[in-house]
A and B are shown apart, each in its own frame.
Chain A
Amino acid sequence: MLDRASTFSDPGVVSLLQNHFIPVAIDQAYQRRQQDAEGQFYQKIANQGPRKVGDGGPTTQGLYTATPDGSFLGYNNNRKINDLLEQLRNAQKQYRPGEVAAIESGEPDSRYVYGPPEGGLVVRVHSKILDGYEKPKSERQRMFQEGVGRDNFWIRADEHQALAQGKILESLAARMARFHLVDNTRGEPPMWKPHEVRSHDLFLDGNTLRGTVHLRTDSGDREFRAELLGFVEAESGKVKRFDVVAKGLFRGEGKYTRGAPQGNFPIAMAFSLADGSDMADPIPPQGSRGWLDGYIE
């Protein structure tokens, strides 16, 4: 999140990436495992860098530069702007343009490559902490505190049909609670286990969605009591509007989301239909990562 507001908002970095590179953003947890053309291309590049696939390391994450045929031009896992500028300029110096064919995609590895449910819906989810942080001591800390989380909420065809008829299926309510009422404003959040959904009551009153959700771990180190309000509108059996806000008091953090405000803090999530116009619309939900069946059940 911090990278977006700092490194990738630097005018020099932005200009180089806009004009002289083809930038691509990926969750390498997929590509480093995929046994298909995309996976092979990524692994070819990563294996020329310091974090090789299969060397026992937990990740190959970082910033890579490479030629279109997969020859390595550089690697950096430090988001300092000057380091990235140096990496990009070095890649420009080394690169010799030539004729390279586009790689045929072939059969994708279905364990890792999947799209939203046919006949279903994709809903954008944005989250933000509304208050509770101590006064920031630096610009970097301010950016950190103002981070907005983004995920996509996938709705199945049967859930879509029910919504269009004014009903919320239990599976939809449970998925929304477990995977999308999370604090993802500082990174990958822990999702809620089924039994950690202590209660939920979502219902449609005409076009108005209302409800409450209580989520709590066994130890009580994380808890969220949320109220939901929004509008769901359908035409000709299809949902045309899904604007919902969840808001409440959250407590706690996860292994990869350290630095939450102390005690109970207000957080909110906004849901709205994705129309494919945003670059993040095609991304699978974080909760489906490596476990689509568990997410979509």
Chain B
Amino acid sequence: MITTISTVLLMAANSLTIANFETLHRELQPSGEKVWRTIPWEADLLKAQAKAAKEKKPIFIWAMDGHPLGCT
């Protein structure tokens, strides 16, 4: 019961309002991670292969479980 009451009180204290919506929406954008975004990542391996062949450069593959540009 105490947990439930605490949760309700915390929810009320953190309630979404039109006034705080814009601020929160803006703050949730990933501005703190800009540097890695300056790397020109391809998301398609064959497009990367074609580009590498054309520019005569080696390929670097960041291969993960889950997409590296997404949640991993």
Contacts and interface: CB of A to CB of B under 8 A. Distances in A.
Asked if chains A and B come from one complex, the reply is yes
Interface of A: 1, 3-5, 8-9, 14, 17-18, 20-29, 31, 37-38, 41-42, 45-46, 59-70, 73, 88, 91-92, 95, 97-98, 100-103, 105, 126-128, 146, 148-152, 184, 187-189, 208, 225, 227-230, 243, 245, 247-249, 256, 264, 266, 268-270, 272, 279-280, 282-283, 286, 289
Contacts of A91: 58, 60
Nearest to B8: A225
A26 B59 CA distance: 13
Nearest to B54: A102
Counting chain B CB atoms within 10 Å of each CB, the highest count among A88, A184, A266, A279 belongs to A279
When A and B form their complex, which 5 residue pairs have the shortest distance between CB atoms, in order from nearest? Answer: A270-B28, A102-B50, A24-B48, A97-B56, A8-B36
A9 B39 CA distance: 9
21 contacts: A4-B33, A8-B35, A9-B36, A21-B59, A23-B39, A26-B45, A27-B64, A31-B45, A41-B46, A46-B63, A61-B64, A91-B58, A126-B28, A187-B71, A225-B11, A245-B25, A264-B6, A264-B10, A266-B14, A268-B28, A270-B24
A128 B28 contact: yes
Given A26-B68, A102-B49, A247-B14, 9 more contacts: A24-B41, A62-B63, A64-B61, A97-B56, A227-B16, A245-B28, A249-B10, A283-B43, A289-B66
Contact of B68 (A3, A9, A105, A208): A3
A16 to B, nearest CB: 8
A256 B58 CA distance: 32
A106 B40 CA distance: 25
Given A102-B54, A188-B65, A149 B45 contact: no
Contacts of B43: 24-26, 279-280, 282-283
A289 B70 CA distance: 12
Given A22-B55, A26-B43, A14 B64 contact: no
B56 A38 contact: no
Nearest to B69: A280
Contacts of B33: 4-5, 9, 148
A286 B70 contact: yes
A38 B58 contact: no
A9 to B, nearest CB: 4
B65 A68 contact: no
Counting chain A CB atoms within 10 Å of each CB, the highest count among B24, B55, B72 belongs to B72
A243 B54 CA distance: 40
B60 A229 contact: no
Contacts of A37: 46
B42 A229 contact: no
A150 B30 contact: yes
A188 B61 CA distance: 19
Contact of B60 (A9, A21, A46, A225): A21
A248 to B, nearest CB: 7
Contacts of B35: 8-9, 14
A105 B15 CA distance: 50
